[in-house]
Copies of this chain bind each other. A is one copy, B any other.
Amino acid sequence: MYIELIGFLAAILTTAAFVPQAYKIWKTKSAQGVSLTMYLIMFTGVTLWGVYGLFIHSNPMILANFNTASLLIMIIYFKVKHK
């Protein structure tokens, strides 16, 4: 229970971390300083973490990684659109 709480806190933070970046790209309509390579690798990695979370039955990991994957798709879309 206590452990799951740490997991959920971590989940909220690593997911939330991508929000300001997505907002910055949206506001400035520029994603010049952001590395597309980074986000593509990150998206693949985060999806695999989600699959790993499913296997080890970790709810915080499942929640965090599939949510983050959705946010990353948005950032990748902005980057490709506003390059």
| Contact surface of A with B, Cβ cutoff 8 Å | 3, 6-7, 9-21, 24, 30-35, 37-39, 41-42, 44-46, 48-49, 51-52, 55-56, 58, 60
Contact = CB atoms under 8 A, between A and B. Distances in A.
How many copies altogether? 2
B45 A10 contact: yes
Interface of A, helix, strand, loop or mixed by DSSP: helix
A52 B10 contact: yes
Q: Which 8 residue pairs of A and B lie closest in terms of their CB atoms, listed nearest first?
A: A33-B33, A13-B45, A10-B48, A14-B45, A17-B42, A17-B41, A10-B49, A3-B55
B52 A6 contact: yes
Given A13-B48, A14-B49, 9 more contacts: A6-B48, A6-B51, A6-B52, A6-B55, A9-B48, A14-B42, A16-B45, A20-B37, A20-B41
